[in-house]
């Protein structure tokens, strides 16, 4: 499998995202045993980076990851996050879910406490990459210098190895670099959602920061498994994705139809081509792919092993550009 270098260690270019494994309102009930099987299948299949966060099921995702990695912790890198809290009134209001009020808080005090909680849930004494989940809001501002002070302190203590930033802006990322650098940024990115890399890619490349994509399959939109008559279930995570709006969804289906010859050429599903397209962006890019079953994991792994020709990459990019234009025209 292709690899990516983060800080001073190598990871597989395709990583496993454990948001859905947290379950809850957005993702529905999960069978934790199947989730554990999926994580172990990922490790057996060559995936060496597992990403989670405290906010995924209010700690549940981390607990499941910890159980799955019992006895094989040394085979993988773990990334988790800080900055979204639900057990305190301190912080800026973000959203509510299942009776919990989620707040943004990147103060030094909160970050240090959060990490200790994460280490306990993950059953480990360190995490390989510690990521700030969302930037602070004006209602509870925290200087980047304070946040970075907490992260560098934890790094000096050996409790984290590398530092990441998620859902950031060019200005925010530049502040992190000025205050002590970062090793990874994690942003929403797919063949249909490219704004983040256009805004942040040059800064990341200039500072040797890995660009990690989340939602590369657009919550299943690009898998090809959702028919044209598909409707989003009330309360699901897909309600948050603008690509499931009627005109955009229809344009995506048209795009996937154009990929059918490539599916035959590479003996691959549309979602695997979408992952291969990201993997082809280079060794400073990581594709974070969510999965809840071993079957989904193996499908994602295959996507990371496909080597697309330059002509086919250009073709896929062109079809995506046309789909975006068609979506915009229909609005």
- C-beta separation of 121 from 59 below 8 A: yes
Name the residue among 100, 28, 35 with its Cα closest to residue 66. Answer: 35
Catalytic residues, by residue number, are 56
- CA 3/CA 195 separation, integer angstroms: 24
Strands (E), the chain: 3-6, 9-12, 14-17, 49-51, 77-82, 84-85, 92-97, 100-104, 127-132, 160-166, 184-188, 210-214, 285-290
Token pair recorded at residue 109: 């005090």
Give me the residue label for tokens 């925010």. Answer: 172
- CA 23/CA 179 separation, integer angstroms: 36
| HSE value, Cβ hemisphere, 13 Å, CA-based, for 115 | 29
């Amino acid at each position: 499998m292709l690899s990516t270098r983060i800080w001073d260690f190598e990871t597989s270019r395709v990583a496993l995202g454990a948001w859905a494994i947290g379950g809850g309102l957005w993702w529905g009930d999960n069978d934790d045993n199947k989730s554990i099987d999926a994580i172990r299948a990922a490790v057996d299949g060559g995936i060496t980076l597992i990403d989670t966060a405290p906010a995924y099921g209010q700690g549940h995702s981390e607990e499941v990851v910890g159980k799955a990695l019992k006895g094989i912790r040394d085979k993988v890198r773990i990334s988790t996050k800080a900055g979204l809290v639900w057990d305190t009134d301190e912080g800026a209001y973000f959203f509510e879910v299942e009776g919990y009020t989620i707040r943004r808080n990147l103060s030094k005090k909160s970050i240090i406490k959060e990490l200790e909680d994460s280490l306990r849930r993950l059953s480990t004494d360190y995490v390989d990459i510690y990521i700030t989940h969302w930037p602070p809001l004006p209602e509870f501002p925290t200087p980047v210098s304070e946040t970075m002070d907490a992260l560098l302190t934890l790094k000096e203590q050996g409790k984290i190895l590398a530092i990441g930033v998620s859902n950031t802006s060019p200005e925010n990322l530049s502040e992190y670099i000025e205050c002590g650098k970062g090793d990874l940024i994690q942003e929403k990115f797919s063949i249909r959602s490219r704004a983040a890399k256009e805004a942040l890619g040059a800064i990341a490349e200039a500072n040797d920061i890995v660009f990690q994509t989340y939602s590369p399959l657009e919550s299943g939109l690009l898998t090809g498994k959702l028919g044209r008559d598909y409707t989003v279930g009330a309360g699901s995570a897909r309600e948050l994705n603008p690509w499931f709006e009627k005109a955009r969804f229809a344009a995506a289906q048209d795009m996937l139809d154009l990929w059918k010859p490539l599916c035959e050429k590479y003996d691959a599903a549309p979602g695997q081509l979408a992952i291969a397209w990201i993997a082809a962006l280079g060794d400073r890019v990581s594709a974070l792919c969510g999965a809840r079953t071993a079957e989904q994991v193996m499908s994602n792994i295959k996507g990371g092993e496909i080597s697309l020709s330059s002509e086919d990459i250009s073709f896929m990019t062109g079809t995506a550009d046309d789909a975006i234009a068609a979506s915009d025209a229909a609005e």
